[in-house]
Amino acid sequence: MTKVGRREFVGGAAAAGVALAAAGTRGLAARAARAADARVEVLVGEEIGTISQDIYGHFAEHLGGVIYDGIWVGENSKVPNTGGIRTALVEALKRIRAPVIRWPGGCFADSYDWRDGTGPREQRPRRTNFWVDAPEWPDGAPKEGPGRYEPNHFGTNEFLRFCQLAGAEGYLAANVRGLGAQSFYEWVEYVNSPAGTTTGAERRATGPLGSRDPYKVRFWGVGNESWGCGGNLTPEEYAMEYRRFTAAVPRYGVDLRFIASGANVDDFNWTRGFFSKTAEKGPFLFGGIYGFGLHHYAWNVSQGRTNDWFAGKGDALKYDEGEYYELLREADRMESLINEHWTIMGQYDRQHRVKLVVDEWGAWYRKGSEVDPTHLLGQQSTMRDALLAGLTLDTFNRHADKVAMANCAQLVNCLHSLFLAHEENFIVTPTFHVFEMFVPHMGAKAVRALFSAPEVRWTRAGKPAEFWGLSGSASVNERQLTLTVTNPHLTEAREAEVAIRGARVTAARARVLAERDVHAHNTFASPREVEPHDETVNAPGGGLFVYRFAPASVTRLSITLG
Write out the catalytic residue numbers.
Answer: 225, 360
Q: Are 225 and 263 in contact (CB under 8 A)?
A: no
Task: Supply the minimum distance, in Å, between the C-beta of residue 308 and ligand AHR.
Answer: 15
Task: Supply the minimum distance, in Å, between the C-beta of residue 548 and ligand AHR.
Answer: 37
Binding residues for ligand AHR restricted to 7-66, rule: CB under 6 A: 61
Among 52, 300, 380, 410, binds ligand AHR (CB under 6 A): 410
Between residues 129 and 302, which has the closer beta carbon with respect to ligand AHR?
129
Task: Supply the minimum distance, in Å, between the C-beta of residue 388 and ligand AHR.
Answer: 15
Between residues 284 and 309, which has the closer beta carbon with respect to ligand AHR?
309
CA angle 99, 55, 101 (to 5 degrees): 40
Among 158, 225, 241, 394, binds ligand AHR (CB under 6 A): 225
Q: Is 409 in the site for ligand AHR (CB under 6 A)?
A: yes
DSSP code string of 104-169: S-SGGGGG--GGGG-S-GGGPPPEE-GGGG-TTSBTBS-SSSTTTEE---S-HHHHHHHHHHHT-E
Task: Supply the minimum distance, in Å, between the C-beta of residue 150 and ligand AHR.
Answer: 14
Residues ≥6 apart with Cβ < 8 Å to 346: 352
Task: Supply the minimum distance, in Å, between the C-beta of residue 498 and ligand AHR.
Answer: 37
Between residues 335 and 359, which has the closer beta carbon with respect to ligand AHR?
359
Residue 50 class from Cβ within 10 Å (0-12 exposed, 13-18 middle, 19+ buried)? middle
Q: Are 418 and 432 in contact (CB under 8 A)?
A: yes
- Sign for the pseudo-dihedral over CA of 456, 450, 446, 270: negative
Q: What span, in angstroms and rounded, lies between the C-alpha atoms of 308 and 317?
A: 20
Number of residues that bind ligand AHR (CB under 6 A): 10
Quick one: residue 84, left, alpha or beta (phi over 0 = left, psi -120 to 50 = alpha)?
Answer: left
Q: What span, in angstroms and rounded, lies between the C-alpha atoms of 370 and 213?
A: 39
Q: What span, in angstroms and rounded, lies between the C-alpha atoms of 487 and 549?
A: 6
Between residues 408 and 559, which has the closer beta carbon with respect to ligand AHR?
408
From residue 353, give the alpha-carbon distance in Å to each of 49, 97, 228, 287. Answer: 15, 27, 26, 6
Between residues 106 and 151, which has the closer beta carbon with respect to ligand AHR?
106
Q: Are 58 and 92 in contact (CB under 8 A)?
A: no
Task: Supply the minimum distance, in Å, between the C-beta of residue 103 and ligand AHR.
Answer: 11
Task: Supply the minimum distance, in Å, between the C-beta of residue 61 and ligand AHR.
Answer: 5
x/- map, 97-136, ligand AHR, by CB under 6 A: --------xxx-----------------------------
Closest residue to ligand AHR in the complex (CB): 106
Phi/psi of residue 64, each to 5°? 55, -125
Residues ≥6 apart with Cβ < 8 Å to 28: 19, 20, 540, 542, 544, 545
Between residues 361 and 438, which has the closer beta carbon with respect to ligand AHR?
361
From residue 410, give the alpha-carbon distance in Å to each of 125, 341, 432. Answer: 26, 23, 12
Between residues 299 and 324, which has the closer beta carbon with respect to ligand AHR?
299
Between residues 107 and 476, which has the closer beta carbon with respect to ligand AHR?
107
Q: What span, in angstroms and rounded, lies between the C-alpha atoms of 408 and 431?
A: 10
Task: Supply the minimum distance, in Å, between the C-beta of residue 409 and ligand AHR.
Answer: 4
Binding residues for ligand AHR restricted to 341-370, rule: CB under 6 A: 360
Nearest to 212 by CA among 198, 225, 222, 224: 198
Q: Are 129 and 121 in contact (CB under 8 A)?
A: no
Among 415, 474, 481, 496, binds ligand AHR (CB under 6 A): 415
Residues ≥6 apart with Cβ < 8 Å to 321: 458, 490
Binding residues for ligand AHR restricted to 249-308, rule: CB under 6 A: none
Q: Is 163 in the site for ligand AHR (CB under 6 A)?
A: no
Cβ neighbour number for residue 446 with a 10 Å cutoff: 25
Between residues 107 and 163, which has the closer beta carbon with respect to ligand AHR?
107
Among 157, 224, 246, 261, binds ligand AHR (CB under 6 A): 224
Q: Give the CA radius of gyration of the chain.
A: 24
Between residues 227 and 435, which has the closer beta carbon with respect to ligand AHR?
227
Task: Supply the minimum distance, in Å, between the C-beta of residue 58 and ligand AHR.
Answer: 12
Residue 14 class from Cβ within 10 Å (0-12 exposed, 13-18 middle, 19+ buried)? exposed
Phi/psi of residue 377, each to 5°? 60, 20
Task: Supply the minimum distance, in Å, between the C-beta of residue 105 and ligand AHR.
Answer: 5
x/- map, 420-459, ligand AHR, by CB under 6 A: ----------------------------------------
Residues that bind ligand AHR (CB under 6 A): 61, 105-107, 224-225, 360, 409-410, 415
